[in-house]
Amino acid sequence: YVQRQGALEGWWRKSRRFSRLLVFLWLSSVALRGVAFALLHLEGFVWHDASGLVVFAFSSAAFTGLSYSILYMSCGATLTVDAYCMQCSRASDLTDCVYEWNLLQSLLRKVSRALETSFLILQTTALAMLLLCASDLVLHGGRSPLWLSATVVLTLGVLLTFFK
């Protein structure tokens, strides 16, 4: 349906922009965490603590990947509705528009059902990440501002991408 409406090229361009932004946020947060790790362990390298850095990199990559998949599908749905509106504004026969709307409505319903759980997981994970940062700040006095800023940069960056 998206290809038939001619919205595929716009979907591809927009999703590439989202992917670049999310990869930049992920790389920035991992780099911040790496710098904080290096500053905290100037006296010596501890493998146990290094595993925390690796776990952060993988878990934040999963968080970023889930964010991208939601943005990708939402972008496609938005562009499809926009293409439908443009097509119907130029159409002379409204019966075709009603048929197309029924197709589009069923497509949107399927996409919404698929994204519902993913969106809940993403928002819960973002909240948990920010609460863990706050608890680390309270309990440990914030070992390093860079250590906490890595999570804050990633989480708030993704949330701002969604709600801009």
Instruction: Report the distance separating Cα 92 and Cα 106, nearest Å.
Output: 23
Give whole-number Cα distances, 31 to 14, 34, 100, 133, in Å: 26, 5, 47, 17
Domain that holds residue 112: 2-41+48-162
pLDDT digits (tens, 9 = 90+) for 85-107: 888 888 878 888 888 889 889 98
- Whole-prediction pTM: 0.80
Residue 96: what pLDDT? 83
**pLDDT higher than threshold 80 for residue 147:** no
pLDDT digits (tens, 9 = 90+) for 1-40: 667 766 777 788 888 988 998 999 999 999 988 888 888 7
Contacts 24+ apart (CB under 8 A), 96-102: none
Number of domains in the chain: 1
